[in-house]
Amino acid sequence: MASGIFALLDDIATLMDDVAVMSKVAGKKTAGLLGDDLAVNAEKASGFVSSRELPVLWAITKGSFLNKLIILPLAFLLSAFLPSAITIILVIGGLYLAYEGAEKIHEYFFPHTHKKEKPKLEKLSKEEALSQEKDKIKSAILTDFILSVEIIIIALGAVGNEPLLTKVLVVSVIAIVATVGVYGIVALIVRMDELGTKLINLNEEDNSFSDKFGRFLVSALPKVIKGLSIIGTIALLLVSGGIFVHNIHFYHDLIENIPFPGIIVEFLTGLFVGFIVLLLINIAVKIYKSFSPESSQ
């Protein structure tokens, strides 16, 4: 009896050790995408009235957990009964990530022209303000769903050869850490200006240390969000390039002997594929518009 218990404990310890090791591997694979997730959600969660930032962020966080409760069982079922679908979803997701990264770069160098309109001040009722807030929360949760699918599928791809129980535990750990970690950091970021304002108002002295540090935090917030956006764009291209390099075998064999570091090959691959997808989508949009009823009027 005692030997059986010790054997069970030994099996559990071995399983936990495998989960810890594979969680590190999966964490490295998804780190780039988490950077973009962080950048996107910091941008989505900012711009609200100060008193509503944390409630809005909590609503998005709950939506993110619900997204993962929907995605995880479906991903595990596919992994168990249709593992080839994981690779297909990975590649499709890689195309989307590459396109998104290329589109951000294109937008930076060739920004879309927007009609100049004078900003209008609107007096919104409480119901209208809450309605707009709900719309923004829904948009953020939808974006989170797309990114969550990619995070979970990439994590699942990293442990593709492991037993099913190890897969379930590792991917579940990554999903929980991704949600808690990303939204915890986002909460700190969006409250930077609030903390800065409190430091500025901490005492009546002019140009004290708290004043300087407070002004630094207030001015740093937009720069931090912009910096995260740049890092996220690079991460998108690296993650997508890595998906193509490691999951499309003929391409992997083609570039195997290229004398460049793997990270450069993956970035250039993601960049090239991204701009190809961007070009094809732009052509398709122009063709669609040329045949649409509005263009013929």
List own/partner pairs for 176-181 with CB under 8 A and 24 or more apart.
176/68, 177/27, 178/30, 178/34, 178/37, 178/148, 178/151, 179/61, 179/64, 179/65, 179/68, 181/34
pLDDT for 87: 80
pLDDT for 6: 41
With CA atoms as reference, report the closest residue to 78 among 159, 156, 170, 172: 156
Task: Render pLDDT for 234-291 as a digit per residue (tens, 0 to 9).
Answer: 877 887 888 888 778 787 777 777 777 778 888 899 999 999 999 999 999 888 888 8
Q: Contact, 271 vs 239, CB < 8 A?
A: no
What pTM was estimated for this model as a whole?
Answer: 0.68
pLDDT for 233: 81
Q: Contact, 207 vs 196, CB < 8 A?
A: no
Within the chain, residue ranges assigned H as helices are: 2-45, 50-81, 84-109, 126-158, 164-190, 192-200, 209-247, 249-255, 262-291, 293-296
Confidence of residue 9 (pLDDT cuts 50, 70, 90): very low
Give 249: exposed, middle or buried? Use CB within 10 Å, 0-12, 13-18, 19+.
exposed
Task: Render pLDDT for 88-137 as a digit per residue (tens, 0 to 9).
Answer: 887 888 888 889 889 989 988 887 665 555 545 556 566 766 777 788 78
**How many CB atoms sit inside 10 A of residue 58's CB?**
12
Residues 203-220: what's their mean pLDDT?
80
More confident residue, 74 or 37: 74
Interior/surface letters 188-199, b for 16+ CB within 10 angstroms, e for the rest: ebbbbbbebeeb
Percent of the chain with pLDDT over 70: 74
Cα–Cα dist 221/215, whole Å: 10
